[in-house]
Structure 1
């Protein structure tokens, strides 16, 4: 079973426009609302792929049963720690003409030490059942910046490998917990390590530097330019495939799900990358925050190739 952690869940409101112009009136051609949060998204994709998964995290009392009901509608099992406040709302503006997403993300309601202790007790009860722990996305105010490292170390005591998909200090501190896999995008890698990544060679250089810090594998998603997967010994690259892009925000989470699916099945490293890229493409062709389906994943998988690079 794969446990996903979503400490800062949200409502994603996605609006689609043709040719977004800041400061002007833009006509919305389509809109949708999705209960989201990166860990929840990963669990949704994992379930679609056929993997047993469980969602842990916070449910904000002011939003009532919205989030538990959404998990139920997605067919997901979960154990959410209830805290005060309300779910944050994130606005996603998708320019369909340019294929570009602009995001306006709220910080979320503050949580206190008591909530963290209750969440940790819940995690402890669930870790013995897990084969992989996914720590995903931002954290709300009140959560220390080293929290992902602490959770990774807790998982290690149970013999459970950890995947981290985060940015900033959460990523930098999380790396100190020796996760099995991290999946930063180009911007997150640049921000965390203060290096400009203008090419695949730049991404490869920084990823190799990160592996030396004790991370098992580093996957760098480069958007339209593909993705890298780097281990201590080897590096692999996938250019992806040319598909019609209808939504962007679910692709990274579907990629984490695809790689996690391959990892728990003990697949070779190149297949871990191929499965991740195929799952991401399965999400790109769907509107809003929709995760890849098994059918979409299986359609994309033959289109994705992986090459070893020096």
Structure 2
């Protein structure tokens, strides 16, 4: 079973405008509301590709109810912990030639709610996959990722972590199955600017030396690089297409990778499906459907178990 955790989920109000003029009335040319949060994005893509998962986290108020209903409509199983006060946040994503985001704060996550999450996580079994993705709201301990992996250590659970800087570095000692920094985040972890693929590989290897099993580095329009636990390096350019929205592309890559690996057991196929899936989302206004993903494939879907 795959579990995803989104500590501060959202309703994402995604709008297109021809031009954004501060201080003026701006009218949309396209708008939609979607369930948001990195873990939730992973769950939706997994569902689109035929894998069930359970979305965990915290919700509150009428916006939280709407979020859960939307996820269920996309085929996701949910077990969010309901908070007694506040509302699940609304994030505004504006595309006016360049992307602008206005993200809400979210509700207060109580200690009782945190304990309830750990009780849920205690149900995970050997070979289950736990995806931890995204930032930590200021009402949670800054080391919550570390606490969770420490709590579950030794149970044979496969950890997937998509986080930045210290959040990621501090969990490497628990040997996560997969981590997915982008090239800029990778450089920031070591205080360097990475300009070449060879430099990216060098620093991705450092993350492996610190404990990560598989390191997947996304590079937007330049594709991605995978360093596997058996010492193989894969590199890929993305399919060609027009980028409409980068939100969720990295999460889609993670979901595509997991789908490819679970379907075939092969890292190369998992990597290539991850790259295609991430690109398919970037070429849509929201997360890619299975049809969007298949349309970008050079190989037949059966190659990846789809």
TM surpasses 0.5: yes
Match of 1:177 in 2: 174
Name which of structure 1's ranges 46-55 and 141-150 shifts more when overlaid on structure 2: 141-150
Match of 2:86 in 1: 85
CA contact (8 A) 2:126 2:156 kept: no
Match of 1:260 in 2: 258
5+ residue gaps, structure 1:
305-310
Match of 1:215 in 2: 212
Number of residue pairs matched by the alignment: 298
State TM-score, norm by structure 1. Answer: 0.88
Question: Against the structure 1 CA distance between its residues 196 and 22, is the aligned structure 2 distance closer, same or farther, given a 3 Å change threshold?
Answer: farther
**Structure 1 CA distance for aligned equivalents of residues 175 and 126 of structure 2:** 21
**Structure 2 CA distance for aligned equivalents of residues 102 and 303 of structure 1:** 35
* CA deviation after TM superposition for structure 1 residue 140, in Å: 1.7
Q: Which of 115, 126, 129 is the matching residue for 1:132?
A: 129
Q: Deviations over 1:226-272 (max 9, x none)?
A: 11111351211111111122222121111110011123235322212
Name which of structure 1's ranges 165-174 and 17-26 shifts more when overlaid on structure 2: 17-26
**Structure 1 CA distance for aligned equivalents of residues 39 and 105 of structure 2:** 16
Q: Deviations over 1:26-80 (max 9, x none)?
A: 5532222212111111111001100121111111246352222122222211111
Name which of structure 1's ranges 83-92 and 4-13 shifts more when overlaid on structure 2: 83-92
**Structure 2 CA distance for aligned equivalents of residues 207 and 17 of structure 1:** 38
Name the SS of the counterpart of 1:214 in structure 2: coil
* CA deviation after TM superposition for structure 1 residue 153, in Å: 3.4
**Structure 2 CA distance for aligned equivalents of residues 303 and 104 of structure 1:** 39
**Structure 1 CA distance for aligned equivalents of residues 68 and 126 of structure 2:** 21
Question: Against the structure 1 CA distance between its residues 129 and 235, is the aligned structure 2 distance closer, same or farther, given a 3 Å change threshold?
Answer: closer
State TM-score, norm by structure 2. Answer: 0.89
Q: How does 1:56-71 map to 2 (within 5 A)?
A: 56-61=56-61, 63=63, 65-71=65-71
Q: How does 1:185-200 map to 2 (within 5 A)?
A: 185-200=182-197
Question: Against the structure 1 CA distance between its residues 52 and 130, is the aligned structure 2 distance closer, same or farther, given a 3 Å change threshold?
Answer: farther
CA contact (8 A) 1:132 1:264 kept: no
Q: How does 1:227-266 map to 2 (within 5 A)?
A: 227-232=224-229, 233-266=231-264
CA contact (8 A) 1:6 1:57 kept: yes
1:302 aligns with 2:298: yes
Name which of structure 1's ranges 86-95 and 268-277 shifts more when overlaid on structure 2: 86-95
